[in-house]
Amino acid sequence: MMKNETLLNIANEFGNPVYVYDAHKIEAQYKRLSSAFNKVKNVKINYAVKALSNISILKFMNKLGAGLDTVSIQEVKLGIVAGFKPEDIIYTPNGVSLHEIEEVAKLGAQINIDNLVILEQFGNAHPDVPVCIRINPHVMAGGNTNISVGHIDSKFGISIHQTPHILRIVKNTGMRINGIHMHTGSDILDIEVFLYASEILFETAKQFKDLDFIDFGSGFKVPYKRGDIETDIEEFGEKLTTRFKTFCKNYGKELTLAFEPGKFLVSEAGYFLTKVNAVKQTTSTVFAQVDSGFNHLIRPMLYGSQHEIINISNEDGKERFYSVVGYICETDTFANNRRIKEIKEGDILAFKNAGAYCFTMASNYNSRYRPAEVLWYNDKAHLIRKQETFDDLLANQQIIEFNTLSKANK
């Protein structure tokens, strides 16, 4: 965990608001997951780019030995720029055109398809390109319906009940299926539920005779507040390892066991630092108003997510109750009635667990600038993205001179 003094120094050096990522925590999480499956001969950890896509973070993941899990052709290209070999990138889109999938195939990434129609079209056009299939096991392993994607009404994956359709398409097109994949969603609370979903995946995998890997997705829960529960990775690793090794023995081939963690690797490594603009007392609430909003950190408003907020400018202060709100001209609440060390104007508040799905979901709403990003590595702060400027807001806009147009029309 980074020291408050270090975070304050970063806020002073780079301004605020600012995102800070602890590279050492990312590495520790990567090693923890690797260690949990160290008894499996072939393990591949594909970092989910959508969680945090800064190019320096991707290069660091490459340094650790990870592959990449991508959901768009742009993420694939970012991975290649970051130094990843195309064969170390899996591409799992949803709702994209056949054209985009074909363009990614040209780049050499592993294709993962979750639509029967697209599977047949791609198989007919490119039977020699190996394809992974994303299965929907109809199991909800996550606790939040907004981030659980394995349920029966999900738009993701091909239903396990449609396996006969898959097999018919494979036979008719002569295409090769080299992987089977599932992702049930985030915040897995119950290991047994995930293992149950894994059994469904194993049963499906038996029907494909030329697999190279099975991808179990991810969704491991991380603690968001004091006393919060998290996925027991060590217990999960032990139980799934036993089952996976048995499957490989019966399958007659050593397959690769793949995961695609995003939040697990980067969430706890992230801090979001904001400055208190004002403290506002109303008849019932004390508001701490900060120089940010859901344009920078949308998770609390979008998902109801809770991020622990600490006043790093007043470590020893007395706790009071505050509602922390932003400067966006809408309801813009980070926390309601939260116990935080006494806050005054100018204090720096740190939001924890700000590494995953935070900056990547930021916007320019209200014409506000997106913040800087800093990587803490080897006891030094490295700027990995500059804060935007007014010129950035105008960069892609084409300005019409209406006076000139009016004269031309006369």
| Contact indicator for 362, 370 with CB cutoff of 8 Å | yes
What secondary structure letter does DSSP report for 406? H
Encoded tokens for 338: 């939260």
**H helical segments located in 111-232:** 116-125, 163-173, 191-205
State whether residue 224 is helix, strand or coil. coil
Question: Can you spell out the DSSP letters for 131-147?
Answer: EEEEEE-----BS-TTT
Encoded tokens for 9: 């120094």
Which amino acid is it at 41?
K
Phi, psi of 20 (to 5 degrees): -125, 135
Give the whole-angstrom CA distance, residue 165 versus residue 350: 51
Give the whole-angstrom CA distance, residue 90 versus residue 46: 8
Neighbours of 136 (CB within 10 A): 25
The yes-or-no answer on residue 329 being catalytic is yes
Dihedral angle over CA of 237, 260, 225, 369, nearest 10: 170
Give the whole-angstrom CA distance, residue 100 versus residue 318: 55
Q: Which of 182, 103, 204, 187 lies closest to 142 in space, CA to CA?
A: 187
CB-count exposure of residue 99 (10 Å: 0-12, 13-18, 19+)? exposed
Neighbours of 171 (CB within 10 A): 10
Tally of helices (H runs) and strands (E runs) in the chain: 13, 18
Q: Distance of alpha carbon 151 from its chain centroid, rounded? A: 19
Residues marked as catalytic = 329
